[in-house]
Structure 1
Amino acid sequence: MIATPTVITPTDAGHPVRLGLRENRLQFSLLVVVNIAVGGLVGLERTTLPLIGSDTFGLTSDLAVFSFIIAFGLTKALTNLAAGALTARFRRKQLLVAGWLIGIPVPFALAWAPSWGWIVAANVLLGLNQGLTWSMTVNMKIDLVGPSRRGLATGLNEAAGYTAVGVTALLTGYLATNYGLRPVPELIGVVFVVAGLALTLVVRDTAAHVALELAHHTKPLPTGENTGLKAVFARTSWRDRSLRGASQAGLVNNLNDGLTWGVFPLLFTDHGLGLVAVGLIKGLYPILWGIGQIPTGHLADHIGRKPLIVTGMLVQSTGFILALALLDTPLLAGILSAVALGLGTAMVYPALIASVSDHAHPAWRANALGTYRFWRDIGYAAGALVAGILADALGLHATVIAGATLTAASGLLAARWITDHAGQPAALVRTPPAAMGDLQRLRP
């Protein structure tokens, strides 16, 4: 693979601007830690909140219990979409700070909400928080590293966030067993909010890095090409075959997550598991999802995005099958299902983000990523809605079967629609010979 030359320009408040992971390791590391806090905040809900709905507030409808996921998913999806457009008016750091300020009330509302409506409202705020903070950490890391390490950059970002989701799910399960479902498990979210906001104030914005990549991008933006949100939304959602394939796979991937988020705690407690065991299952899934993205993100930079996306979706489908096939031994069923779902998602997640970045010009990449993340995270709401309707009508088992079927179908669509560029990803970062002299003169 041909490496991207290091390019320097004397901007960004006196700091030399370079593209690359090693060149920006301090800022990149700070953003990794920020995303640990981002993931930790949403991890508060993974183990306990469906049980709070049914046990604390006495909800009898599964659809009503899953309404908090619907509120979260819809809000986060719309915020992701808006975040791409907002980057044209505000700096990424400003949006990151705004996301943390919006998230301040969330742990307090979860801990002391007097009614289920307050929980749903808190999830609207959480969706706004996650849409802004997670979107900006992804965009800023991609800005820093340049084209040649997008897979690794997104893998590290998502690994940090989802490992934090899993560890927090484990911790809240333990705390709920010892101190009750509320308020102790939820109040660890205060630590995440304070840490995330404090570190965000230290991180530098990445506008200069975007400008640098635009200046030396190997594929000029066609004259008159529309880079507005409406045009990019249409292009990412259905007009571009590969972007369409990535968007539908992202939607179904998070449909799985929304479905298991609501269904698995109820399914496994119905079969005799306690909160610690459920916390283990709900924690293991995102931990493997998170840690696994470091090698899979790196692998996506070497073998291409499509093989990981297709295989990962099929592995996730297998995870649902295992959950039912082994349900007579519920702990084993839960653990093996979590392993398959976690590893399958680890294969898919960084490859999808990198694939969208590959097919998007830097001038409209933020809007393309925002559109992709809109479809991906609306999957949370779709998963909770499908799960609630099916569970009320046909039961939890039928809901899990539906998850397996949809996931396998999505993998087959990804295989048909997504195209890796020839030689990808090396072809995407190859520098034309005529430009090499100019780039070499910009070296230190």
Structure 2
Amino acid sequence: MNSGTTNPPQQRHRRTGITLGLRQNLAQFMLLVAVNALVGGTLGQERTVLPLLAGQVFHLDLYTSALTYILAFGLAKAATNYFAGTLSDRYGRKPVLVVGWVIALPVPLMLIFGPSWGWIVAANVILGISQGLTWSTTVIMKMDLVGPSKRGLAMGLNEAAGYLGVAGTALATGYIAATYGLRPGPFLLGAAYIALGLGLSVFAVKETRGHARLEAANHTSAHATAHGQLSNREIFTLTSFRDKSLSSVSQAGMVNNLNDGLAWGLFPVLFAAAGLTIEKIGILAAVYPAVWGAAQLVTGALSDKYGRKWLIVGGMLLQAAALAMIAVGHDFGIWLAAAVLLGLGTAMVYPTLLAAIGDVAHPEWRARSVGIYRLWRDGGFAVGALLAGIIADAYGIPAAVGVVAGLTALSGFVVAVRMRGTDHYSHRLG
């Protein structure tokens, strides 16, 4: 089975000179890959340090309280994802990207100088808004540039860059924190990323909305009314519930980030309680997104060749198995192996879900559909923080990890039963 896309003839608008394709837009595409690596690094500054900051500096005992920053981040990012798609359709992609970087400017200062946990939570609300605008827009812009034939590869490159940025920064901040303390050193790296990302977005990134319009002019969709005539409410309903493929993708994305929120908030605490050093905790915090990031260079392209559905199903089940290993494990070696498997399972899923949205959604409303998918997906951070915190407070962290493992497996079975292969959607270009 293939992804449901065909290899189209080269498309060029005679008057504007706009051309679709990865090779034809390689310089701008790779610039956006670099920008998204900086977006990921801005998030990665927190992955190792903030869970330790909660206990060691602010003395938060309850897991539910300590995870409030992930809850705040998830809610803010999820809501902003929705508006990012709508705003980028209305005003263009580049202005939304630039505004996202501007919003991030105060975050490192708040993390460095925040005198109470409320400041950390507020910084994560701002970071969530910024991430929703910047990451969503880089996804949409890459889809615009490449057209339909290499969408899985494009999403693999995008997500690989972002999560390698997360991983590298998580590892670096672990060593910085071990050497210089939890504050301010780790967050100075985030400040540098924000400054560089803003500069590149203002001076080097180009608008891509014209590419989406070119694709739309040559696009046939399975949805009879899908040629830009759907309202925002209709697109929300279609993406969330009505369309079997879009809704399957949305729930899988939500569960995927539910277990990522668990990994972000509770794994460092679990590892610290087992007596691991900050350096080893930093390694474990980095290995999972590193494998996730690097493997997406392969899995995105595989989904172009073999289809989206079964790669998603297999990835969700592999994640469930890895989480079960973490729940029953007691030493660095087991947890390291589980982190590798968790990263591999996530890599099978993450770019494939985005590519599946691009397969089904019409180019005229694809940005909005991507935003709605990302609303559900990043809502998983908030659900994961609440669910994991409540269960961990009542029964311990291993129990919370076990419950999330079960939900992840269930999500994979939902995709297996409900989702159509994306060759159901005929994207013929004429």
Same fold by TM (over 0.5)? yes
Structure 1 counterpart of 2:272, from 254, 269, 272 = 269
Displacement, 1:32? 0.4
1: CA distance between counterparts of 2:231 and 2:61? Answer: 45
Distance change in 2, residues 1:11/1:209 (3 Å) = farther
Which letter maps to 2:11? V
Contact 2:356 2:422 in 1 (8 A): no
Indicate conservation of the 8 Å contact 1:11/1:208, yes or no. no
1:3 aligns with 2:23: no
Aligned equivalents of 1:292 and 1:334: distance in 2? Answer: 19
Q: Are the equivalent residues in 2 in contact too, given 1:4–1:429 (CA < 8 A)?
A: no
Which residue in 1 is equivalent to 2:133? Answer: 132
Q: Distance in 1 between matches of 2:378 and 2:214?
A: 30
Distance 2:371 2:173 in 1: 31
Counterpart residue type for residue 352 of structure 2: A
Q: What's the offset of the Cα at 1:307?
A: 1.0
Q: CA deviation at 1:220?
A: 8.7
* Cα distance in 2 between the residues matched to 1:304 and 1:97: 34
The alpha carbon displacement at 1:304 in A equals 0.3
- Decide whether aligned partners of structure 1 residues 220 and 326 sit closer, same or farther in structure 2, where only a CA change above 3 A counts: closer
Structure 2 letter corresponding to 1:59:
L
- The reply on whether 1:352 has 2:353 as its aligned counterpart is yes
Asked if 1:74 corresponds to 2:75, the answer is yes
Correspondence 1:209 to 2:197: no
Q: Tell me the matched-pair count.
A: 424
1:107 aligns with 108
TM-score (norm 2): 0.96
Counterpart of 2:344? Answer: 343
The alignment status of 1:182 with 2:186, answered yes or no, reads no
Structure 1 residues 41 and 399: CA distance shift in structure 2, 3 A: same
Q: Does 1:292 align with 2:295?
A: yes
CA distance in 2, matches of 1:286, 1:19: 31
2:35·2:197 contact (CA, 8 Å) conserved in 1? Answer: yes
Partner AA of 1:3 in structure 2: N
Amino acid at match of 2:12: I
Give me the whole-angstrom Cα distance separating, in 2, the residues matched to 1:394 and 1:379: 21
Shift of 1:429: 4.5
Q: Residue 50 of structure 2 corresponds to which residue in structure 1?
A: 49
What is the CA-CA distance between 1:88 and the residue it aligns to? 3.0
CA-to-aligned-CA distance 1:338-385 (integer Å, 9 cap, x gap) = 101100000000110111111111111111111100000000111111
2:221–2:426: 8 Å Cα contact kept in structure 1?
A: no
Per the alignment, in what secondary structure is the counterpart of residue 30 of structure 2? helix
**Rounded Cα–Cα distance in structure 2 between residues aligned with 1:428 and 1:104:** 43
Give the equivalent residue in structure 1 for 2:239: 236
Q: How does 1:10-409 map to 2 (within 5 A)?
A: 10-11=14-15, 16-201=17-202, 202-219=204-221, 222=224, 226-327=229-330, 330-409=331-410
Query: CA offsets per residue over residues 275-303 of structure 1, 9 Å max, x none?
Result: 11010001000011111111000000010
CA distance in 2, matches of 1:221, 1:308: 25
Separation (CA, whole Å) in 1 of partners of 2:81 and 2:376: 9
Distance 2:66 2:118 in 1: 11
Conservation of the 8 A alpha-carbon contact between 1:228 and 1:364: no
Deviation at 1:96, TM superposition (A): 0.1
**Structure 1 unaligned residues grouped into runs of 5+:** 436-444
Q: Does the Cα contact within 8 Å between 1:154 and 1:353 map onto a contact in 2?
A: yes
- The one-letter amino acid of 2:206's match is R
Partner of 1:89, secondary structure, is helix
C-alpha contact 1:309 1:348 (8 A) present in aligned 2? yes
- Specify the code of the residue in structure 1 equivalent to 2:421: D
Structure 2 residue ranges without an equivalent (≥5): none
Change (3 A) 1:412 1:17: same
**Partners of 2:54 and 2:231 in 1: how far apart?**
41
**Structure-1 separation of matches of 2:15 and 2:369:** 26
Are the aligned partners of 2:328 and 2:398 in contact in 1 as well (CA < 8 Å)?
A: no
Distance 2:140 2:39 in 1: 14
Distance 1:87 1:177, change over 3 A: same
**DSSP 3-state at the match of 2:422:** coil
Shift of 1:10: 4.1
TM-fit CA distance, 1:316: 0.3
- 1:89-123 per-residue CA deviation (whole Å, 9 max, x = no partner) reads 21100000000000011111111111100000000
Measured against aligned partners, the alpha-carbon deviations of 1:312-349 in whole angstroms (never above 9, x if no partner) come to 0000001111113331xx21122111101100000000
Give the distance between the partners of 1:82 and 1:354, measured in 2 at CA.
20
SS at match of 1:177: helix
AA partner of residue 288 (structure 2): Y
Letter in 2 for 1:118: W
1:162-185 deviation line (CA, Å, top 9, x unaligned): 000001000011011000111101
Helix, strand or coil for the counterpart of 1:9?
A: coil
Q: Match for 1:20: what amino acid?
A: G
2-structure distance, mates of 1:270, 1:379? 25
Contact 1:143 1:209 (C-alpha < 8 Å) held by counterparts: yes
State which structure, 1 or 2, has the greater radius of gyration over its C-alpha atoms: 1
- Residue 222 of structure 1 deviates from its aligned partner by 3.8
The residue number in structure 2 matching 1:439 is none
Contact 2:89 2:209 in 1 (8 A): no
Q: Which amino acid aligns with 2:155?
A: T
